[in-house]
Amino acid sequence: MNLLEIWDRFKKNGFARVHNIPTNDAIESFYIALLAFNSNRIDVALAFSQKALSQEPCNILYTQATSYLKKVLKNGKKNVYISPTGFAEFIRGGGNVPLYQAVAKMLRNIYQQYSNLSVLDIGVGDGLALLPALTKNIRHVDVVEPSKALLDNVRKEFSRLNISHEAFESTLQEFVKSSPKRSWDLIQSTFCLQSIPPNERGDLFKWLAETGSRLIIIEFDVPEFPEQCSPDQVKYVTERYNQGLTEYLENRELVAKEFLMPVMFGYFDQDCARTNFEHSVQEWILQLRNSGYQTIECFEVYPYWWAPAVMIDAKL
């Protein structure tokens, strides 16, 4: 029985009959594990993940998934960002190192197109993309970030570098509502706007267009899957995460258990409220055009393991 047949039976009969299907391939076993997780049957999910691992003992993904499911069965599900250490190891390791180097290089090249400029960075985090890109011609930087801890780190660096700045501890939605009328030469956001539901972006993009004539967005060009747990989604996610895990060696256990596995299983969790709304670059372009941006160019930033990172350069 292939994945499509398992999926068809799951849609018709729910999980009740699916877990009785005999599986000969590891991917089939793991597929049922994900369907079990989607149905909140963590015990069954663990059993089939263990079966997949027994069928492919050297598979990194099945190894880490089984370890994670044991933890979930014992302690329950946790918020994906509950472990700052796990996320810190993830973001500063593996493919993120060359990814952020490429991002900073592209941003720096854009800054150098101006004699002097003011910048608004939306979702700056702790400055991993912005700080290495800074050039001497920047006269002022405003940053928006909801995490106080991350924002404090950026403030300290700005002060150390003697850069004129103002930091706002808020989401973009809150900032738009409370911010006095101002303008910037350049507005940018790296891997942040995907957290905003698409139906809320139109008004936000129009506000950004009114306050800056150029918007730089860096996001992942991710395919869209209309149905949760469909075979196409499972195939894409499992292949990509297996690749991502190979990029972490010494700290793989920590990164996997405290970040990557919670994120991956979150794609198949029917009870988990969405925290990101990734989609294709073409959808980003459509949303920007509908908000008034006339000239839109796209450039590949880095071939990241999850999906290609792409820079969208939108001008009025």
In tens, the pLDDT along 37-66 reads 999 999 999 999 999 999 999 999 999 999
> Is residue 82 scored above 60 in pLDDT?
no
Do 47 and 164 sit in the same domain of this protein?
Answer: no
Do 249 and 301 sit in the same domain of this protein?
Answer: no
Q: Judge residue 314's burial from the number of C-beta atoms within 10 Å of its C-beta, 0-12 exposed, 13-18 middle, 19 or more buried.
A: buried
CATH number of the structural domain spanning residue 162: 3.40.50.150
Do 201 and 262 sit in the same domain of this protein?
Answer: no
Do 167 and 48 sit in the same domain of this protein?
Answer: no
Do 124 and 191 sit in the same domain of this protein?
Answer: yes
CA distance readout (Å), 182 to 139, 190, 221: 15, 21, 31
State residue 295's pLDDT score. 97
Do 18 and 37 sit in the same domain of this protein?
Answer: yes
As for how many domains the chain has, the answer is: 2
Residue 287 forms part of a structural domain: yes
Percent of the residues in the chain that have a pLDDT greater than 70, as a whole number:
98
Phi/psi zone of residue 292: left (φ > 0), alpha (ψ -120 to 50 degrees), beta? left
Give the mean model confidence (pLDDT) for residues 105-118: 97
Q: Are 284 and 278 in contact (CB under 8 A)?
A: no
Say whether pTM exceeds 0.85.
Answer: yes
Residue 10 forms part of a structural domain: yes
CA distance readout (Å), 167 to 129, 172, 229: 16, 12, 40
Domain that holds residue 38: 3-76+226-266
> Is residue 81 scored above 60 in pLDDT?
no
Do 215 and 158 sit in the same domain of this protein?
Answer: yes
> Is residue 237 scored above 80 in pLDDT?
yes
* Positive or negative torsion for Cα 54, 56, 57, 59: negative
| DSSP letters for 66-79 | HHHHHHHHHH----
Give the mean model confidence (pLDDT) for residues 108-120: 97
Q: Which helix (H) or strand (E) holds 234?
A: helix 231-246
What are the backbone angles phi and psi of residue 289, rounded to the nearest 5°? -65, -40
Mean pLDDT (the chain) is: 94
Q: pLDDT confidence of 83, banded at 50, 70, 90?
A: low
